[in-house]
Amino acid sequence: MADLKTNLLGFVMNSPVIGASGTVGYGVEYEELADFSKIGGISGKGLTLHGQYGNKGERLWETPSGLINSIGLQNPGVQHFIDVELNEMLELKQKYGTVAIANLGGHSEEEYVEGAALLSESAVDIVELNISCPNVKVGGMAYGVKAEAAGEVVRMVRAACKKPLMVKLSPQAENIPEMCKAVEAAGADAISLTNTFQACAIDLEKRKPVFNNIFAGLSGPAVRPIALRMVWQAVGAVNIPVVGLGGIATGRDALEFIMAGATAVQVGAANFANPRAMETIADEMAQWMDAHGVKTLEEIRGCARNAE
């Protein structure tokens, strides 16, 4: 049987399949639905220093093979997370070994730093710095576009945070390789990409944009080929691990990212079409590996780059 064990920043995960931030709550919500022993980790819903309600108006919109969301980082705040939700994540970890990842957003550099400092003192395993949320008007996104701005905020967070730091990139980055290099240079331990793609939908009957913010974030299988391209670029640009995501819905999808060089993968929107998507993806990866005589992911990680 193929061994899916995956070492991410020193944590040995049961599989490379991580629940993507914002789609799996803090893990417990899915506990009875999926076999967590096959899930590598959970990235919790994106946090901001202070809790917030998120966006008003429409929050979800279906598109061909995709979903646009405009949640707007609704969350209970970092301290509440540490007091309550983190403990649930750690219980899951104890039971199943799922690595606990805190996803941190922010509206200013100060907020990022303060939130990261709090998480630094918590029992969370990894901090995923979200510099890429397209759904908050101020902040988030700005850092996701310009490499210098991203490097700056990562440097400040790095200084404030002793936890392994994974920086989550936006597909709106002006230049993916430069962005990757900037966050690596600023002290990131890993990179995850991509967050959602800035998108728009118009409600014909109302003759106005579906979302109050006009733009919102597209994800799901529709974006997978673009996300895979960006992951390919990221792996080529840096020496730190790259966690790939964007539209992964099957074991074959996940293996494409692994063959492009990703250390692990995250699964977001696919959880909505199949609540057992994460488990199914891990199973399908193992099946493919078994059928092809591949024993560990090391044997195939990055193999598609050999011809490069």
Partner 1 sequence: MRAACCEATVLSHESILPDIRLLRALWPDREHAPHAGQFFTLRAWGADEAPFLSRPISVHKWEPETQTIEFLYQVIGEGTHKIAQLKTGDTFQLTGPMGNGFDIPALAEQYHKIAVVGGGIGTAPMYQVTRELAAAGVKPDVFFGFRDTPYCMEEYRSIANVVKVSTDTGAVGFHGFVTQLYDPADYDAVLICGPTVMMKNAARICAEKGTPCFVSLEKKMACGIGACLGCTCETKGGEGKSVCKNGPVFDATEVFF
246 binding ligand FMN? (CB under 6 A): yes
**CB 199 to partner 1: min, Å:** 14
Residue 220 as a binder of ligand FMN (CB under 6 A): the answer is: yes
Span 29-48, contacts to ligand FMN by CB under 6 A: 45-46
Would you say 165 or 210 has its CB closer to partner 1? 210
Binding partner 1 by CB under 8 A: which of 96, 215, 272, 288?
Answer: 272
Residue 229 CA to its chain's centroid (Å): 16
180: Cβ–Cβ under 8 A, 6 or more apart, which residues?
169, 191, 233, 234, 237, 238, 242
Q: With CA atoms as reference, report the closest residue to 197 among 258, 137, 247.
A: 247
Residue 248 binding: pick among a second copy, partner 1, ligand FMN, none (C-beta 5-8 Å cut-off by kind): ligand FMN
By CB under 8 A, residue 60 contacts partner 1: yes
Q: Residue 19, interface with ligand FMN (CB under 6 A)? A: no
Catalytic-residue membership of 133: yes
Rounded-to-integer distance, Cα 294 and Cα 286, Å: 9
What distances in angstroms separate CA 283 from CA 35, 202, 264, one per listed residue? 11, 38, 15
State the Cα–Cα distance between residues 179 and 174, nearest whole angstrom: 8
Among the listed residues 117, 149, 156, 200, the single contact to a second copy using CB under 8 A: 200
299: Cβ contacts below 8 Å, ≥ 6 apart:
none
In the block, residue with structure tokens 């917030």 = 52
Considering 133, 180, 200, 303, which one is annotated as catalytic? 133
- Residue of 48, 198, 266, 271 that binds a second copy (CB under 8 A): 198
Q: At its nearest, how many Å lie between partner 1 and the CB of residue 28? A: 9
How many other CB atoms are found less than 10 A from the CB of residue 291? 9
The residues that touch ligand FMN, with contacts defined as CB under 6 A, are: 20-23, 45-46, 67, 69, 71, 73, 103, 130, 133, 168, 195-196, 219-220, 223, 245-248, 267-270
